[in-house]
Every structure is written in C-alpha cells, then in structure tokens.
C-alpha cells in the first residue's frame, strides 16, 4: 500500500512539460533533448518540483525554459551562467539548470562560462551544440569547423573552433560529459549523472540543426556508423570501440593510437582504462582532442568528475564563520561604530 502511494506520487515526464506550444523546426535535435530531460527529471526530482529553475540565454536552444513546467528565466544572449550564478548563490536550495547554445555559451557568453566553471557553482549546464547559429539563421559559430561555408563565411570560415570539452577542462569544471541527440538512453544517463554531481556540471550535447547544419554529426550519430566511430567512455572499462569492440585506444607517450586487440602482439591489456575520477586532467584533455586526428573515434560519456567545495557552499560557510566570530549583525551597533561624538 505504502509502496503504491509512493509510486503514484512520483512525477512523470508529463509533469515537467509546460502548457506552451513547442516551436522548434520539425526534426530539430532540440526536441530530443527536451524529451530526455523531461524523461530523466522524475528520477532526479522526486519531490519539490518547485525547486527547479531553468535559465537560458538567447538562441533556438534557449527557448527551452518555456517548455519546462518549472521556474524558468529566458534571459539575454550569453548571460545565462551569470544569472544562474546569482540565483544559486541567493538560494542554494534551488536546483539550477542552464540551457544554452554554442554561440550563446562559447561566443558572447564565453567569459561567464569559464568563470562559472572555475568557481564550481552548483549549476548544470546543457550545451546544445549544433556548430551553427540557428536563431539568426545560419552564421558560423565558435564550434564550426575551419572551411565551413555559411552566410557569413561564403568562402569558408577561417576561425579555428573551440573545443567545448577542453575549454571546460581548462577552466576546471568539476563534471564534464558529452552526449548526442540521437541516443536517448545515453543522454538520460548523462543528465542523471550531472544531476547527481555536487558542483558545476557541463554536458556538451551534439544537436542536429536540420535547417542550417543538417548532418553535422552524421559520421558518428547515424546508427549505421556510430558503433564504428563513437567511443563510449565508461569508468574502469578499457576504451574499446567498433562494432565488434575489437578496436582499442592505446597511449604511446602522450600520443593516443588505435590498435586492433585481435592482431598479434596486441591485447586488451594494452588498452587505456577510463578513470573518470582521475585527479589529473591530462588524460581527459587527450581524450577531448582525440578527434582532431583523422581515424580517431569521438568519445562520449563522462570525461571527468572531481569533488571540491562548491562556490555556493563556500559563500554560506564563510557567512556562518564570520557570524561565529563577529556575532549576528546588529544594525544599531554598525551605524554607531568607529569614532563618534556627541552634540548637545
């Protein structure tokens, strides 16, 4: 009986859907992200749905908060991490999530992103990376590849792109993961892992923009090739990939190479074993740059997770400490502090 009550009380995906009409282009990868978030949230938020806040900047992806039946704030271009910081610091009890695009987070919002990472504020940031500007109709973005032809780069983009995972690593984000819009199960797992992480969590989601950059991730998101080209990172597991799981990643010095474990002289023991909780960011950094070289797989999963005091905790701790030393603030005393004199 009691068990039943509990199950009844549990939220369903529907509880997280707002009454607003979703208005992305048909086929947009954003739909999958919305669906996976709504499906994962009943496991993340078991009660007090009102404690959830979604914050976004501007872009197609940033329409996200409207579609969630939680508290939400659709703000201005690039500033979601800073607004979210204010929300979380003001009320650490809230569960604060950021939905953002590659232009939003890494171009105009780059500064706020790296600083939110380094401060380890307990925010969950979902980067919808479609390697293009969607809302402004198809200009290249800071994650677009060199040579990309777009409306503002008719002769090919000459900008070197950002690598979002290595930017997050370099800025000391304490949780860094990547997932893909065509793999719902994987995305749900990653979202829940991010929710469980105490501290700043960054998820890069490969998201297909069907209108301006269709197929950008086909070489690893399409079912026919994804086993060949995706490397699923799993803690404590050797980094094997390929349809037959016969290819493995090996490190020669600091250089990763791909070996076939069934070939003579090779064995699964030569293959790197993933350690999400490694204190050192070095291997994660190597993994994040893996696909810079041809014929290398694209890693998805959790790159790294480490634990440190969060910024919002530190704020609360410091206030508590100062109160202990100085005593609870007294306005009258403070007004009359220092050297005063009387006039009669």
Partner 1 sequence: MIVDLNSKKHTKKLTEVTVRFAGDSGDGMQLTGSQFSDTTAAVGNDLSTLPDYPAEIRAPLGTLYGVSGFQLHFSSNDIHTPGDRPDVLVAMNPAALKKNISELKKGGIIIVNTDSFDARNLKLAHYESNPLEDDSLKGYESYPVPITSLTIKALEGSKLSVKEVTRSKNFFALGLMYWLYNRPLENTISWIKDKFKNKADLADANLKALKAGYNFGEITELFETRYEVDKAKLPAGTYRSISGNEATALGFLAASVKSKLPLFLGSYPITPASDILQFLSTYKNFGVKTFQAEDEIAGITSAIGASFAGSLALTTTSGPGLALKTEAMGLAVMTELPLVIVNVQRGGPSTGLPTKTEQADLLQAVYGRNGEAPIPVIAASTPSDCFNMAFEASRIAVKFMTPVILLTDGYLANGSEPWRIPHANEIPDFPVNFRTDSEGFHPYLRDENLSRPWTKPGTPGLEHRIGGLEKANITGNVSYDPENHDLMVRLRQQKINNIANDIPELSVDGEQQGEVLVLGWGGTYGSIKEAVMHVRNRGHKVSQAHFRYINPFPKNTSEVLKKFNKILVPEINLGQLSKILKSEFLAPVVSFNKVRGLPLRTSDIEDKILELLGEKK
Per DSSP, which regions of 266-316 are E strands?
298-305
Among 169, 209, 230, 259, binds ligand SF4 (CB under 6 A): 209
Nearer to ligand SF4, 28 or 116 (CB): 28
Question: Does residue number 24 form part of the binding site for ligand SF4 (CB under 6 A)?
Answer: yes
Q: Kindly indicate which of the ranges 23-31, 87-95, 170-178, 233-241 contains the residues binding ligand SF4, using the contact rule CB under 6 A.
A: 23-31
**296 interface partner picked from ligand TPP, partner 1, ligand SF4, none, CB below 5 to 8 A per type:** none
Give the closest residue to 240 by CA, choosing from 266, 285, 273: 273
Enter the DSSP assignment of 231.
E
Nearer to ligand SF4, 13 or 210 (CB): 210
Q: How far apart are CA 123 and CA 96, in angstroms?
A: 5
54 and 34 in contact (C-beta within 8 Å)?
Answer: no
CB burial class (10 A; 0-12, 13-18, 19+) of residue 126?
buried
**36 interface partner picked from ligand SF4, partner 1, ligand TPP, none, CB below 5 to 8 A per type:** none
Q: How far apart are CA 159 and CA 192, in angstroms?
A: 34
What does residue 202 show for φ and ψ, rounded to 5 degrees?
Answer: -120, 125
Which positions from 210 through 249 interact with ligand SF4, judged by CB under 6 A?
Answer: 210-212
Closest distance of CB 77 from ligand SF4, Å: 15
Which positions from 126 through 155 interact with ligand SF4, judged by CB under 6 A?
Answer: 130, 134
| Max Cα-Cα span within the chain | 100
What is each CA distance from 59 to 4, 149, 209, in whole angstroms?
42, 20, 12
Nearer to partner 1, 93 or 292 (CB): 93
In DSSP terms, 251 is beta-bridged to: 256
Instruction: Using CB under 6 A, count the residues that bind ligand SF4.
Output: 11
**289 interface partner picked from ligand TPP, partner 1, ligand SF4, none, CB below 5 to 8 A per type:** none
The C-alpha angle with vertex 235 and arms to 165 and 164, in degrees rounded to 5, equals: 5
Among 13, 17, 25, 272, binds ligand SF4 (CB under 6 A): 25
Contacts with partner 1 by CB under 8 A lie at: 18, 20, 48-51, 53, 55, 58, 65-66, 68-76, 79, 82-91, 93-94, 111-112, 115, 315, 318-319, 322-323, 325-329, 331-332, 334-336, 338-344
Question: Does residue number 33 form part of the binding site for ligand SF4 (CB under 6 A)?
Answer: no
Closest distance of CB 337 from partner 1, Å: 8
CB burial readout 295-333, b (16+ within 10 A) else e: ebbbbbbbbbbbeeebbbbeeeeeeeeeeeeeeeeeeee
Contact footprint for ligand SF4 (CB under 6 A): 24-25, 28, 30, 60, 130, 134, 209-212
């Amino acid at each position: 009986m009691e068990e039943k009550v509990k199950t009844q009380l549990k939220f369903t995906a529907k509880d997280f859907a707002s009454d607003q009409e979703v208005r992305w282009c048909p086929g947009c990868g954003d739909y999958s992200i919305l669906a996976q978030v709504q499906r994962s949230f009943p496991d993340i938020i078991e009660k007090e749905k009102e404690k959830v806040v979604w914050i976004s900047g501007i872009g197609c992806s940033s329409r996200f908060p409207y579609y969630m039946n939680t508290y939400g704030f659709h703000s201005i271009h690039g500033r979601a991490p800073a607004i979210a910081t204010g929300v979380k610091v003001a009320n650490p009890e809230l569960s604060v999530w950021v939905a953002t695009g590659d232009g939003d987070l890494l171009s105009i919002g780059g500064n706020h992103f790296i600083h939110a990472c380094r401060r380890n504020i307990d925010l969950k940031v979902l980067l919808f990376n479609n390697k293009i500007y969607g809302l402004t109709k198809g200009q290249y973005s800071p994650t677009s590849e060199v040579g990309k032809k777009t409306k503002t780069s008719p002769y090919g983009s000459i900008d070197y792109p950002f690598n979002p995972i290595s930017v997050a690593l370099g800025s000391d984000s304490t949780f860094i993961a990547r997932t893909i819009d065509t793999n719902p199960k994987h995305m749900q797992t990653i979202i829940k892992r991010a929710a469980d992480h105490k501290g700043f969590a960054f998820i890069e989601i490969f998201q297909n923009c069907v209108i301006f950059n269709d197929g950008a991730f086909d070489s690893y998101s399409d079912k026919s090739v994804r086993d060949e080209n995706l490397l699923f990172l799993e803690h404590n597991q050797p980094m094997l990939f390929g349809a037959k799981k016969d290819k493995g990643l090996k490190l020669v010095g600091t250089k990763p190479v791909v070996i076939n474990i069934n070939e003579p002289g090779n064995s699964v023991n030569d293959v790197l074993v993933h350690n999400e909780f490694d204190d050192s960011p070095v291997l994660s950094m190597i993994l994040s740059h893996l696909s810079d070289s041809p014929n290398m797989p694209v890693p998805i999963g959790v790159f790294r997770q480490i634990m440190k005091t969060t910024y919002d905790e530190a704020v609360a701790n410091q206030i508590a400490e100062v109160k202990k030393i100085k005593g609870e603030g007294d306005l009258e005393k403070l007004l009359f502090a220092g050297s005063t004199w009387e006039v009669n």
